[in-house]
Chain A
Amino acid sequence: MENQAESPVKDKHLLIAVDESDSSRRAVLYVADFLGGFPGFRVSLLSIIPEPEQDFYETEAELKAWVEEKIGKANKMLEHYRTILIQSGFPEEKVRFRACVGEPKSLSDAILEIRCDLTCCTVVVGRQHKTRTEEFLFGSTSNRLVHEAKNCAIWVVE
């Protein structure tokens, strides 16, 4: 029998999109609980700061300061979530994170674009409990992800 070089099994890559909400925390804890310690998985944590509208800021400097503050807070939060996942059993090198500022497109579109870039097979988000009025006026990221996603799975964690 010929020796065949073992082909490495590709990890399943999950993208967890988070913000400062409790629902995002639940999503991270769920992944930690469900998959922590099992081989074959890696995680990218993503926080998208909604595109800052220049009309809310009097000067460029004010806008820049707001963005820097938000990115700083996001990185701190992502670092904390990364620790949770590592403590649950994910190898350090298999958990990455990224904070970025959104562009003029919906959050769901931005998440799906990054999912595509990173070739993640699954997107995980927490379900935010919005009132009907809020969902009607301002939309729901998790709903839109479920409707618009292609070629991947969407986990919406309650």
Chain B
Amino acid sequence: MGESGGYSEKDLIRMIRKWVPRERVPKRVKVKDTSDFFRVDYDDVVVLDSVPYFVRNNEREGRFGIDDEQKFWVKRARNLLTGDVKILKWVFRERFEARIGDLVFDCVRSPQKEARILELVSGKPAFMQGKTVLDTAGNQLRILDYIRGKTLGQAALELGSGHEDYFHNHFPELLREFIVLVEAIRFLHDHHEKHGDIRRDHIIKDDTTGHYRWIDFDFNYRHGESRFGYDLFGLGNVLLFLTGRGDVTTYRLLREDPEAFDRLSEDDVNIVFQNRVNNLKKIYPYIPEKLNRVLMHFAISAPLYYEETRELLDDLGEAREELKAGSWEVKKLGR
């Protein structure tokens, strides 16, 4: 059968016509070997597990100020049998050193890790779904369900007319959803797995289900005494962003609210990103104490750190109860 998987060019073009606009249907299609992702281009077809996929663009990712780098090993494609949009992720190994502040540590991009986690989280709604097949060179190629939707960061910034409106009317639901996401990470940790790259743009609100899903599990980092500390740090950053309706930086405060800036001390900033304010209660006094205390676990002055996701979840549960009680009081006062 070879690369074409038994499909003639005519068959493939007929299938393509079913799923893409007329002006996008190519005159010719080539079925490409899957062993080299650089040779697989837009409008090519690859056959995986006897299913033809019509390849579209390379996916992109912004990271650490570098916007939209192309990821040549990750391509969007359409399943020509069902019309479903998929993400095809080829094997691309990368070992590198990550830098956080002054700290340098080993990281790896591991297709086998992602394949393992996909199997672990199969059917779980808080995670992207997919399966692993072998390319013609015997490498693990992941076929992921494309999630149409906004990232958590994008979704949060669109809510509310200002911080107070956002916090009273939208944040409680966001916090509930965030807790579900943290429980999902706890599931990974309970199975000795890390997410490895927790960021708000690795959380997508699935337009189909309305719920958030984690994506991109292929990173791993060399942990020390605390296996999950870096994952927990990521969760803290996401919570800080959600609570502040964006990152509240010292620079922004100095420009927009110098009085609030004057209330801060050096103890109030993030332990790693010291331009970010963790003590948000000093900026927004209506933030309840228990929630603020969770944020302060990630501040430079924190005497104790979370070691396990369970500890964070316990505190978030209490913070959520206090928030609910507080909103009832706010409603009683008729605000």
Contact = CB atoms under 8 A, between A and B. Distances in A.
B187 interface: no
Given A106-B225, A131-B103, A136-B233, A55 B300 contact: no
Secondary structure call for the A interface? helix
Interface stretch (A1-9, A21-29, A115-123, A139-147): A139-147
Contact of B222 (A53, A108, A140): A53
Q: Which of B101, B220, B226 has the most CB of A within 10 A?
A: B226
B220 to A, nearest CB: 4
Q: Which of A50, A104, A137 has the most CB of B within 10 A?
A: A137
Interface string A133-158: 11111111100100000000000000
Contact of A137 (B113, B233, B300): B233
Given A138-B226, A139-B226, A141-B225, A133 B271 contact: yes
Nearest to B104: A134
A53 B220 contact: yes
Q: How large is the interface on B (under 10, 10 to 19, 20 to 34, 35 or more residues)?
A: 20 to 34
Contact of A134 (B103, B108, B113, B302): B103
Contact of A55 (B103, B105, B220, B230): B220
Interface string A57-96: 0100000000000000000000000000000000000000
Given A55-B110, A135-B305, A139-B229, 6 more contacts: A56-B106, A58-B93, A137-B226, A138-B105, A138-B225, A138-B230
Interface of A: 50, 53-56, 58, 104, 106-108, 131-141, 144
Interface of B: 93, 95, 100-103, 105-106, 108, 110, 112-113, 192, 220, 222-227, 229-230, 233, 271-272, 300, 302, 305, 307
